[in-house]
Amino acid sequence: MTEKKRISVSDLRSQRWFAAPGQPGNHKSYRTKQMGYAGEDFRDKPVIGIINTWSELASCHTHFPQRVEDVKRGVWQAGGFPVELPALSVSESYVRPSTLIYRNLLAMDTEEILRSHPVDGAVLMGGCDKTTPALLMGTASMNIPAIFVPAGAMLSGHFRGRRNLGTGSSTWAALADFRAGKIDEKTWRAFGEGTARSPGTCNTMGTASTMTSLVDVLGMSLPGASSIPAVDSTHSQMASLAGRRIVEMVWEDLRPRDIVSRASFLNAVVADMALSGSTNSLIHLIAMARRLEIALSLDDFSTAAEAVPVVCNLQPSGKYLMEDFYYAGGLRALLSVIRDQLDLSCLTVTGRSLGEEIEGAAPYDSDVIRPLDNPVYAAGGLVVLKGNLAPRGAVLKRAAASPQLLKHTGPAIVFPNFKEMLAHIDDPDLDVTPDSVLVLQDAGPIGAPGMPEWGMLPIPKKLLAQGVRDMVRISDARMSGTSYGTCILHVCPESRVGGPLALVRTGDLIRLDTDARSLDLLITEEEFAQRRADWTPPPPHYQRGYGALFSEHVLQADEGCDLDFLAKPGMTPDPEAGFS
């Protein structure tokens, strides 16, 4: 690869602030010294903004204060000037009503922090579900040199001699046992505590590990960084190396739009299928691609799903956890298994190709990372469904569903919203059988609001007591990447805007056929038309504030749920020099 010409000090973006003539430049200089820095600390050096999503309510990111220091060490060693810039913390565990609403706010926050400050490059620190796509979306729109430092997964769960308990996946099963009366509340709570043993993101191949892995495949983190556990000493080393590398990327003027291409995104889609990644990845990858003006659609996922086997044997679709994945060789090893389905010429933040970065990698455990002739599932973990109930698409995580339900026709039991579902799901008089299809309306991007992770509808208690652990469930919501079951999600258009899901009534027959990739409501066209004519849109949730802005501008699931004015093509110009 031909070495790219290095930029000069005068080309540094930060020099528009620090080297500005007259009072503006002088003001920046003495204000920096006010913080205790000498002139030589920052003069003629790349300024590196460390975008930190830490907060005391971001349990996945509790180790970030130390990782910031690790990054700074690397930046100083490489001759840069690090500055920490706190950004909105979007904790999956605590933020209501939905973190997806605030993904877009964090993306905007990131973009404007980078635009408005004198920084030449960025280190992006995230990991909890929405922080990863948000940071990449904002940085893609800003398009300055950037590198992503993933939080890493927490340790594997342990409880009363049981090992390999997955955050989310195992606790969902324990919740079902508790609701069925098989375990008491004390045991249920202690079980959950046993699955959350350290800092870091969920230890399953949930949304957090899926998205950090896919950003790794896109070439935006140090190769293999996404697989390192949060508390492993290698994680600290990786953070420091990222600090060093971003300084070099600034001098090389290596930017996201130089690194990431449509081929990179298709690689990520292929890897997503091999990982049996979270269904949330479809929304996030599409949103990220649109920020880079790259075409990506549900059809790309559908094509890959039929061609790529699941070779990653991790919960919720398999047996193991992220610690096991790392010690089995991690993402680089998995990519080596599927290398023939990847475009290995794609660039990474190292300046080297993906092919070069996975050269020599191989699995150390053939049960955790399976060979192609012994996959966990022969076809990809996701299925994109279309039909008169989802004309713009819906998604089912096939690898986490019950095989006997993948072709099913049953009568609908409709809940008009989440509150009604909670009030009636365990009613002993609910006319429900294992063949029923549970339908939740008004849970989409505008409806809920914010498309919360409600898609794994609870099984009615009276069926749990009979041993039923799965049913066909349909909604315009999302579900946690740690969830499982025959849950059809992201039905598009959503019911709140008059999508066909809004027209389903209790007793209607619904047909799911994953072989045909279809999802249909079995009523006549005349009945469809009459119900459409009778439908009245509900009132908006918000009258003011960010919630109103979100509701007025959010796109549908098949377009990534970004805000329409942020997903537009083009670049916002930098602020001009000399104004302050």
**What are the structural domains, with CATH classification, of the chain?**
46-156+204-358 (3.40.50), 158-194 (no CATH), 382-534 (3.50.30.80)
AA letter at 175: L
pLDDT value of residue 1: 43
Q: How far apart are CA 447 and CA 150, in angstroms?
A: 31
For tokens 């990739």, the residue is 517
pLDDT value of residue 481: 73
pLDDT (tens place) for every residue of the chain, 580 residues total? 445 679 999 999 998 888 878 777 777 777 888 888 887 788 889 999 999 999 999 999 999 999 999 999 999 999 999 999 999 999 998 998 999 999 999 999 999 999 999 999 999 999 999 999 999 999 999 999 999 999 999 998 888 878 788 787 777 778 888 888 888 888 888 888 888 889 999 999 999 999 999 999 999 999 999 999 999 999 999 999 999 999 999 999 999 999 999 999 999 999 999 999 999 999 999 999 999 999 999 999 999 999 999 999 999 889 999 999 999 999 999 999 999 999 999 999 999 999 999 999 999 999 999 999 999 999 867 899 999 999 999 999 988 899 999 999 999 999 999 999 999 999 999 999 999 999 999 999 999 999 999 999 999 999 999 999 999 999 999 998 777 899 999 999 999 999 999 999 999 999 999 999 999 999 999 999 999 999 999 999 999 999 999 999 999 999 999 999 999 988 888 887 555 5
Number of C-beta neighbours around residue 295 at 10 A: 10
Q: Is the dihedral of CA 401, 562, 203, 198 positive or negative?
A: negative
Number of C-beta neighbours around residue 374 at 10 A: 11
Q: Residues near 6 by Cβ (< 8 Å), separated by ≥ 6?
A: 251, 252, 253
pLDDT value of residue 341: 97
CB 292 within 8 A of CB 215: no
Q: How far apart are CA 65 and CA 68, in angstroms?
A: 5
Number of C-beta neighbours around residue 580 at 10 A: 10
List strand residue ranges (DSSP E) for 291-431, in order: 382-387, 390-397, 407-415
Structure tokens, 191? 């079980």
pLDDT value of residue 577: 57
Nearest to 440 by CA among 487, 396, 386, 382: 487
Q: How far apart are CA 226 and CA 86, in angstroms?
A: 22
